[in-house]
Copies of this chain bind each other. A is one copy, B any other.
Amino acid sequence: MLKFKFLFLSSIILLSSLGINAQEKPVDLVYPHLDAANSRWFFFSSASRPFGLVNLSPDNEVGGAWGSGYRYDTHEIKGFSHVHAWQLSALSVMPVNGDVKDIKDDYYSPFSHETEIVAPGYHKVELDRFNITAELTSTTRVGFHKYTFKNKNQKSILIKLSGPNGPCAISKGEIKKINSREFSGYVMNASTRRRPKETPVFFHIELNKPVKELITWTDDKISENSKGVRGINSGALLVLKDNLNEPVLMKVGISYSNEEQAKKNIKAELTHWDFDRIVSESKEEWNNWLNKIEVKGANKTDRVRFYTDLWHGLQGRRIISDASGTYSDFTGEERKVKQIPLDKNGMPKFNHHNFDAMWGAQWTISTLWPLAYPKVASDFCNSMLNYYNDGGLIPRGPSGGNYTYVMVGASSTPFVVSTWMKGIRDFNINLAYEGLKKNHMPGGIMAKSGYEHSTSEGGGIEPYIENGYVPHPYKPRIRGMHKDGAGMTMEYSFQDWTLAQLAKALNKTDDYEYFLSRSNNWKNLFDKSYGFIRPKDIDGNWRVPYDPYEYQNDGFVESNAAQMTWFVPHDYDGLAELMGGKEALVSKLNNEFAQAKLQGFTAGKSHSDENRKRIRNISINYGNQPSMQTAYIFNTVGAPWLTQKWSREVIDSVYTGVSPYVGFNGDEDQGLMGSLSVLMKIGLFQLDAGAAENPKYQIGSPIFNEITISLDNKYYSGKQFRIVAQNNSKENLYIQSVKLNGQPLNRMFLYHNEIISGGELFLKMGAEPNKELK
């Protein structure tokens, strides 16, 4: 089972040239090293389950939220740490040989990709300095380690309780010896501007063999035969017996609640010492998840990339609740351990989650999860409502049980509305509506700019309501990032439209009309003389100087006017009218694509590239969220062949290829870009996040010949929905005709109901556009 190697790609290429596809299991296709040369702290994954609380993997760089974690081109391991999450890390450990004095501040080891095996749920690496083989696997909440020491003497496991560890320092920590095989404690994540409260993460360690001794230290004061240590600048060695000839196995339960729950997580998930069984179960679990979307056709590299993309869509936004349903609520002054409600079987009704921004979720996970993983969508809605109950706001990116106020706007609204509209309704919609509406009003989350923790001003909701737009510049004295009024106005308008749809569905007519009216606010910022959105100040003056292509810092959040002009997912008819008709819109957007193509549709191949002025001033950027819907606009304004053309060109240029140096341009953003790639490749895309009544899916140009989506019968009536693209190839990317369940379809979109009741979409493909199909 573990015979496949990191270097399996050469055989993939061989196989693919032979067109062989038999017996291919999706999990075997996942290539975890994708984009690993550009990795940020929470990107890389190996020993992790879907949305796993634990994601255990080697860290080659430990300083900072960017450029840290597993970095392909850094050939030194600095520890195996258990959590790589938004603004958080957890316990880092490292098997070593050596005397405590020598090793405590100098334990990093070189390693080589040559002897490494990396797969979903498994990581094997040789620590060349110590001649130790380290293997890692995990359950959802427990890291499982297997260390094979080849040097006889001074075998130990180092426990890191201080120092840099990704997005923040470990400011202090504690380890206590319970018995010679059990230890528990915590590490404290120092506060950051983004997550202002110090946040502990707890651990419970169990070994399969008793240790000889626990050695601890604080600064240079070393305690042999220690019972534990606590404080800053501390650490510990679990010293193994010299006569131990077998590999040592270690379980590390992790919990955000307390040490007891960390221990209980082990008890709930990992009661035996069969390492290979957990590797095998982990692989099987991933395969079951990935297999919800089965693809045939294209070449093997394309399929490898597809399942790697999908795999990324199913992690990053990690579970934070314990197996028992306890979790840490840190929205108030004091951290509290609370309990998720239990179902009739005594199991928590949902998993609680951590996540980076929902900014961009409307075109990615808002479609992918409800379609193929409706329970995940439901869990996230319940999770958000849990935050609402605890802290009074539906979050847009919580960390450590508290809000971070990352990015801007009420970016969770489209996700919640989309989930509800699709018939996933096992959450309290009245409470959700109350929370969402609160977010859209003064004092809510729209009132807060990026990381504006203690005030509610930078978001500009008051002038948005009063003047019809968020001015730019606006309230420079307020601390907060991304106070980009024009960008906020665009996002708020769309979010208002999605909330209006929910209000309508809930028969709240006044609210519907109110938010629908607000959803036109973007029009106040359309400057006809440039044909682009343009920032306005509080007095109604257009921003000067203004360049439609100038990136950020000019009224737009991680984007520019050119990109944000297309951010009207709810009103392309309105945009067409302002641009002089649909033909003018199509012509202009087509040119913006042609321009962006000159740069490969991205502002560079890594996050740092985006700081280069020339390269980031791009018309459309498929390396970040703000304009990633643009290829599908053509579908709604009478030119679907251009959706087919440009979505395929973007896939070929941005989301094709498999190596540590390509992938998501250094910022996959916790499943967002992975999900986007998946949706573009299966040819289904929801421009309006699916937030309308009876949501629509735009039909794009799938790259596969056959795609089968297994439907979750807890939510949907159909068994599976299949897409067949006959005569499909890199050249034959244009749809010639469309049939749904054998009947010709005279539109280029499907309704959600048509998909979830099961059936088949049949596309006949060809090399030339059929412009009759509109």
Contact = CB atoms under 8 A, between A and B. Distances in A.
Interface of A: 528-531, 542, 544-547, 549, 579-580, 584-585, 587-588, 590-591, 594-595, 597-598, 613-614, 619
B579 A529 contact: yes
A568 B218 CA distance: 78
Nearest to A586: B529
Determine how many copies of this chain the complex contains.
Answer: 2
B530 A595 contact: no
A588 B529 contact: yes
Contacts of A591: 542, 544-546
Given A531-B529, A614-B613, A545 B594 contact: yes
Nearest to A615: B614
A412 B120 CA distance: 74
A613 B614 CA distance: 9
Nearest to A546: B591
Contacts of A584: 528-529
Shortest 9 CB-CB contacts between residues of A and residues of B: A545-B594, A529-B588, A545-B595, A544-B594, A529-B584, A614-B614, A529-B531, A544-B591, A546-B591
A613 B613 CA distance: 12
Nearest to A530: B531
A619 B580 CA distance: 24
Contacts of A595: 545-547
17 contacts: A528-B531, A528-B580, A528-B584, A529-B579, A529-B584, A529-B585, A529-B587, A531-B531, A544-B590, A544-B591, A545-B591, A545-B595, A545-B597, A546-B591, A546-B595, A547-B619, A549-B549
Contacts of A585: 529
Nearest to A543: B591
A465 B189 CA distance: 74
A531 to B, nearest CB: 5
Contacts of A587: 529, 542
A584 to B, nearest CB: 5
Contacts of A597: 545
A544 B528 CA distance: 21
A53 to B, nearest CB: 47
Contacts of A531: 528-531
A400 B401 CA distance: 83
A486 to B, nearest CB: 14
Nearest to A584: B529
A545 B549 CA distance: 15
A529 B590 CA distance: 12
A170 to B, nearest CB: 43
A529 B614 contact: no
B588 A530 contact: yes
Contacts of A542: 587, 591
Given A613-B614, A614-B613, A614-B614, A598 B530 contact: no
A222 B614 CA distance: 59
Nearest to A614: B614
A547 B596 CA distance: 10
Given A614-B613, A614-B614, A580 B545 contact: no
Contacts of A588: 529-530
A545 B618 CA distance: 13
Given A613-B614, A614-B613, A614-B614, A598 B545 contact: yes
A630 to B, nearest CB: 15
A598 B619 CA distance: 21
A579 B544 CA distance: 18
A546 B549 CA distance: 13
Given A529-B531, A529-B587, A547-B595, 13 more contacts: A529-B579, A529-B580, A530-B588, A542-B587, A542-B591, A544-B590, A544-B591, A545-B597, A545-B598, A546-B595, A547-B619, A613-B614, A614-B614
Residue of A580, A588, A613 ringed by the most chain B CB atoms within 10 A: A588
A117 B110 CA distance: 69
Contacts of A528: 531, 580, 584
A585 B530 CA distance: 10
A598 B546 CA distance: 11
A93 to B, nearest CB: 48
A584 B528 CA distance: 8
Contacts of A579: 529
Nearest to A583: B529
Contacts of A544: 590-591, 594
Nearest to A579: B529
A595 B547 CA distance: 7
Contacts of A580: 528-529
Nearest to A578: B529
A633 to B, nearest CB: 14
Tell me which of A529, A584, A597 has the highest count of chain B C-beta atoms within 10 A of its own C-beta: A529
Contacts of A594: 544-546
A587 B547 CA distance: 13
Nearest to A589: B529
A597 B528 CA distance: 23
